[in-house]
């Protein structure tokens, strides 16, 4: 109804169920600021409390304080559209409306139907956001964890790439001295209390800046290890980084009220700064870890050191041709991108805790050959980008490859060749990962027994999927046919997935979710047996 809508606001509810504006159309900045003072909370709460559309007339708008806004001078009413699901307020739209009461009623009826559909979709999005956030939050300290670090590195270095000559970022790797010994001596509960207290002390000392307040740059604190915390500080050069590190060191040194009556504790801090100590997140982390390792090897506690202060001989020893790390720090796409940016040549191996392993030969930053399970080439890379959320990696540069490495590479035939660009594989991997996340929400569990609908009805429904607005591809239809064939009622969905191990995993998940959605597949905790 564009001719009726003059302006619109979207409110999102925070953890305290307070409405906050997150999108707007047709208002200037001064009006938006004024909305935070009056005319926002009360009508939003009224609409959500009723879980129904709220139509405020021009007279009622004055009671809400809207007479202050010139944008509402010619408005006959405002329609508030609450979006709720499972008795939970998710969002709310406010639509200033010009027109008769009859037109307002007609528009309201249509908006109510839209709200019912949108609420269910937004509810799934909110659930996914919460799950995603929880997966990247350390439960002990409430700080972000190492999985979040990969996302953060991407954001930070994207901003840097826009004007690298005028940007600086410092990494401070802060570690409580002798924590393992303290934890072993006094027990795990005591160690957890120490970590919580330590993280709070560091956080209060640094006074993390919010990127929204500062206008683009800020500070981030991540729990990196047991008693290790990483501070990523944007717009902080090496000199300022050392000043902050020294302030943190003194705070921990002077603190006396540690759990269990421990009289004193100390911290050691390794600092690195972009661009002198690295131009990628991986290189910066390696520099900070190297600085901290230097202090440990020389038994220097309660000290701070910048990577630039370490003797070059030590740095070359620590930063050899073979490097490694974990996917908790660098997610798969960021790892491949960092090798591409550095124009590295060599062999990359990434192992997941369950034994699944990627092997890839990299030439000038681009994967040339790849292998992952029964997949080779581009399919192996997409599978890697889709499935790997944790694990460890090692990279050997070309000059340090052994005889076994070269022979292994020589044995790989054309089926392992990566023929597409890295950008294309990463785009396909991102799409596949999105499909996987959506499918995991739709598919409750894999240990349920899968059964198909009757043969005649199933074939008709499979054919009908071709007429959908976004129909399945030929590969997806073939995959669904195979799932449907294997779903005998006595086989779990997990068994079916394993039997289809030459089909890309994301495709199996997506097809299973589509089949459940269109009632081609039924899941049950009860095994069905065929009776002859």
* DSSP sequence for 91-104: EEEEEEE-S-HHHH
Most confident range, picked from 9-18, 93-102, 421-430: 421-430
Per DSSP, 453 falls in state P
Residue 320 pLDDT exceeds 70 = no
Dihedral sign for Cα atoms in the order 237, 211, 325, 226: positive
Strand blocks (E) in 292-410: 304-306, 322-326, 346-351, 357-363, 366-372, 375-376, 392-397
Residue 14 pLDDT exceeds 70 = no
Least confident of 33-42, 172-181, 325-334, 479-488: 33-42
Q: What is the mean pLDDT of the segment spanning 474-490?
A: 89
- Within 10 A of 85 (CB to CB), how many other CB atoms are there? 17
Pick 378 or 324 by higher pLDDT: 378
Q: How confident is residue 333, by pLDDT bands cut at 50, 70 and 90?
A: confident
Residue 4 pLDDT exceeds 50 = no
Nearest Cα neighbor of 71 from 13, 37, 24 is 24
Give the pLDDT confidence score for residue 165 in this predicted structure.
67
Q: How confident is residue 1, by pLDDT bands cut at 50, 70 and 90?
A: very low
What span, in angstroms and rounded, lies between the C-alpha atoms of 527 and 489?
Answer: 6
Residue 213 pLDDT exceeds 70 = no
For residue 481, the surrounding DSSP H or E stretch is helix 474-486
Residue 357 pLDDT exceeds 80 = yes
pLDDT per residue as tens digits for the range 93-151:
777 777 777 787 888 888 888 777 777 777 777 777 777 777 788 889 999 988 788 77
Give the pLDDT confidence score for residue 468 in this predicted structure.
78
Give percent of the chain with pLDDT exceeding 70: 80
DSSP-H helix ranges across 136-259 = 146-162, 179-186, 188-206, 211-214, 238-254
What span, in angstroms and rounded, lies between the C-alpha atoms of 494 and 484?
Answer: 14
Q: How confident is residue 493, by pLDDT bands cut at 50, 70 and 90?
A: very high
Give the pLDDT confidence score for residue 72 in this predicted structure.
55
Give the pLDDT confidence score for residue 249 in this predicted structure.
97
Q: How confident is residue 460, by pLDDT bands cut at 50, 70 and 90?
A: confident
What span, in angstroms and rounded, lies between the C-alpha atoms of 246 and 65?
Answer: 51
Residue 321 pLDDT exceeds 60 = no
Q: Can you tell me whether residue 256 is helix, strand or coil?
A: coil
Long-range contacts at 338-341 (CB < 8 A, ≥ 24 apart): 338/280, 338/281, 338/282, 338/283, 339/365, 339/395, 340/365, 340/366, 340/422, 341/279, 341/280, 341/365
Residue 381 pLDDT exceeds 80 = yes
Nearest Cα neighbor of 117 from 150, 157, 85 is 85
Give the pLDDT confidence score for residue 194 in this predicted structure.
94
Structure tokens at 157: 């270095």
Give the pLDDT confidence score for residue 2 in this predicted structure.
41
Most confident range, picked from 129-133, 457-461, 468-472: 468-472
What span, in angstroms and rounded, lies between the C-alpha atoms of 149 and 171?
Answer: 12
What span, in angstroms and rounded, lies between the C-alpha atoms of 520 and 469?
Answer: 18
Strand blocks (E) in 255-387: 267-274, 304-306, 322-326, 346-351, 357-363, 366-372, 375-376
What span, in angstroms and rounded, lies between the C-alpha atoms of 207 and 212?
Answer: 15
Main-chain phi, psi angles of 454, to 5 degrees = -60, 150
Pick 405 or 316 by higher pLDDT: 405
Give the pLDDT confidence score for residue 3 in this predicted structure.
47
Nearest Cα neighbor of 375 from 405, 404, 412 is 412
Give the pLDDT confidence score for residue 141 in this predicted structure.
94
Mean of all residue pLDDT scores within the chain: 81
Query: Can you tell me which residue has the tokens 């590190």?
Result: 245
Residue 340 pLDDT exceeds 70 = yes
pLDDT per residue as tens digits for the range 273-306:
998 998 888 788 888 988 998 998 888 899 999 9
Q: What is the mean pLDDT of the segment spanning 26-44?
A: 63
Nearest Cα neighbor of 180 from 170, 191, 171, 172 is 191
Q: What is the mean pLDDT of the segment spanning 503-516?
A: 92
Give the pLDDT confidence score for residue 274 in this predicted structure.
92
Q: How confident is residue 532, by pLDDT bands cut at 50, 70 and 90?
A: very low
Cβ neighbours of residue 150 closer than 8 Å, sequence gap 6 or more: 281, 327, 328, 329, 330, 331, 334
Give the pLDDT confidence score for residue 151 in this predicted structure.
79
Residue 434 pLDDT exceeds 80 = yes
Q: What is the mean pLDDT of the segment spanning 64-86?
A: 67
The model's pTM is 0.52
Q: Can you tell me whether residue 396 is helix, strand or coil?
A: strand
Q: How confident is residue 315, by pLDDT bands cut at 50, 70 and 90?
A: low
């Amino acid at each position: 109804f564009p001719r009726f809508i003059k302006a619109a606001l979207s409110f999102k509810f925070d953890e305290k169920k307070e409405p906050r504006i997150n999108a707007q159309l047709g208002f200037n900045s001064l009006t938006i600021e004024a909305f935070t003072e009056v005319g926002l909370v009360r009508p939003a709460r009224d609409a959500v409390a009723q879980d129904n559309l709220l139509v405020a007339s021009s007279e009622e708008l004055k009671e809400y304080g809207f007479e202050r806004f010139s944008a509402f001078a010619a408005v006959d009413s405002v329609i508030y559209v609450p979006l709720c699901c499972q008795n939970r307020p998710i969002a709310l739209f406010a639509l200033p409306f010009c027109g008769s009461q009859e037109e307002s009623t007609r528009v309201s009826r249509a908006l109510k139907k839209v709200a019912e559909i949108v609420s269910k979709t937004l509810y799934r999005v909110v659930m996914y956001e919460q799950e995603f956030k929880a997966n990247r939050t350390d439960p002990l300290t409430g700080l972000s964890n190492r999985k979040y670090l990969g996302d953060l590195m991407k954001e930070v270095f994207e901003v840097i790439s826009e004007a690298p000559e005028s940007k600086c970022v410092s990494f401070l790797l802060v570690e409580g001295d002798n924590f393992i010994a303290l934890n072993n001596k006094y027990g795990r509960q005591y160690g957890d209390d120490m970590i919580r207290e330590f993280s709070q002390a560091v956080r209060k000392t640094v006074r993390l800046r919010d990127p929204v307040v500062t206008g683009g740059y800020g500070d981030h604190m991540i729990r990196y290890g047991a008693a290790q915390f990483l501070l990523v500080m944007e717009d902080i050069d090496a000199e300022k980084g050392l000043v902050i590190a020294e302030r943190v060191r003194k705070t921990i040194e002077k603190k006396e009220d540690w759990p269990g009556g421990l009289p004193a504790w100390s911290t050691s801090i390794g600092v690195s700064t972009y661009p002198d100590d690295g131009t990628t997140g991986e290189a910066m982390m390696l520099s900070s870890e190297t600085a901290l390792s230097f202090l440990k090897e020389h038994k220097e506690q309660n000290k701070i050191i910048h990577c630039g202060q370490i003797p070059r001989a030590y740095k070359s020893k620590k930063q050899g041709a073979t490097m490694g790390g974990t996917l908790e720090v660098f997610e798969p796409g960021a790892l491949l991108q960092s090798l591409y940016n550095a124009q590295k040549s060599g062999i990359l191996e990434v192992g997941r805790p369950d034994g699944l392993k990627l092997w890839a030969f990299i030439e000038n930053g681009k994967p040339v050959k790849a292998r992952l399970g029964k997949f080779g080439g581009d399919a192996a890379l997409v599978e890697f980008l889709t499935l790997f959320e944790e694990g460890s990696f090692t990279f050997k540069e070309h000059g340090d490859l052994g005889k076994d490495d070269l022979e292994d590479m020589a044995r790989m035939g054309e089926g392992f060749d990566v023929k597409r660009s890295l950008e294309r594989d990463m785009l396909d991997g991102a799409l596949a990962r999105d499909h996987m996340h959506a499918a995991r929400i739709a598919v409750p569990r894999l240990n349920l027994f899968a059964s198909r609908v009757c043969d005649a009805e199933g074939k008709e429904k499979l054919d009908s999927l071709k007429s959908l607005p976004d129909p399945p591809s030929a590969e997806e239809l073939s995959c669904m046919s195979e799932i449907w064939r294997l779903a005998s009622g006595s086989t779990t969905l997990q068994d079916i997935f394993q039997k289809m191990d030459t089909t890309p995993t994301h495709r199996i998940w997506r097809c299973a979710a589509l089949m459940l959605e269109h009632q081609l597949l039924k899941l049950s905790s009860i095994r069905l047996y065929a009776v002859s």
